[in-house]
Amino acid sequence: MSEITPSQTVGPFFAYGLTPKGRAHWDPDGTYSWKETVSDNLITPDAAGEKIRIEGQIVDGDGKPINDAMLEIWQADSQGRYASPYDSRRPNTQFKGFGRSATNKEGEFGFSTIKPGSVPGPNGKPQAPHIVFCIYSRGMLRQVYTRMYFADEAANGSDPILALVPADRRDTLIAQKQTKGDVPVYRFDIRVQGDNETVFFDI
């Protein structure tokens, strides 16, 4: 029997502690001053690579927006290097590769970041560029993990993790590129349950 501390839900009230900035629906007069530790903007001035936006909506089993979710992302830099002591090729920039976004009333989230490069996979096989998502909300007693891939990457076809996903469900992991302004927007909607449910990983 393992001895780890069990997970519990993040509940509905995490925002003032974990995602305090600019959340008008819980801080209507905008006076709350708790400093943000982790933001939804991952871009640092010294980070090389293509600037992108990630936008999406998260919905429950009835298709209703989840307006009290927190999404965290973890990704490599544009060279495919993680800012972690467990990646020996650590980047020498300030780019951390970690972000947090709380959903708004419509269940929408968003990140500004750099498109990640390819990272090594099992047995030295490269993985297609991807971003790991970790999702928390009221009604989730434990976090769920998924991955976002990029629709415009030919490498998706040989990605070792996507290959483990039934072909008819792979689309749920692939963000579609939209052109809205100067910065490419990748649209990544998440359906927690039901028809076309997003693939979640047991890791």
62 interacts with another protein by CB under 8 A: yes
CB of residue 185 to another protein, shortest distance in Å: 23
* H or E segment and range at residue 71: strand 69-74
Residue closest to 100 by CA, chosen among 29, 23, 175, 152: 23
Query: Contact at 8 Å (CB) between 99 and 133?
Result: no
Which residue, 1 or 179, is less far from another protein as judged by CB? 1
CB of 25 to another protein, least distance (A): 7
When binding is defined by CB under 8 A, the residue of 30, 64, 157, 167 that contacts another protein is 64
Name the one range near another protein by CB under 8 A: 1-9, 43-51, 149-157, 179-187.
Answer: 1-9
> Which listed residue (51, 87, 152, 184) binds another protein by CB under 8 A?
87
CA atoms within 13 A on the CB side of 188: 28
Return the half-sphere exposure (C-beta side, CA atoms, 13 A cut-off) of residue 201: 16
Kindly state the smallest distance separating residue 181's Cβ from another protein, in Å: 29
- Sort residue 194 into left (φ over 0), alpha (ψ -120 to 50) or beta: left
Q: b/e map of 148-179 (b: 16 or more CB within 10 Å)?
A: bbbeeeeebeebebbeebeeeebebbbbeeee
Binding-residue total with another protein (CB under 8 A): 79
Q: Which of residues 93-152 bind another protein (CB under 8 A)?
A: 96-98, 119-123, 127, 130, 132, 134, 136-144, 147
The smaller minimum CB distance to another protein, of residues 11 and 178, is found at 11
Give the residue with the Cβ less far from another protein, 52 or 66: 66
35 binds another protein (CB under 8 A): yes
- Binding of residue 76 to another protein (CB under 8 A): yes
Q: Which residues pair with 53 in a beta bridge?
A: 112, 185
186 counts as binding another protein under rule CB under 8 A: no
Residues 3-32 that bind another protein (CB under 8 A): 3-18, 20, 25-28, 32
| Interaction between residue 155 and another protein (CB under 8 A) | no
Geometric angle at alpha carbon 123, from 147 and 84, rounded to 5°? 55
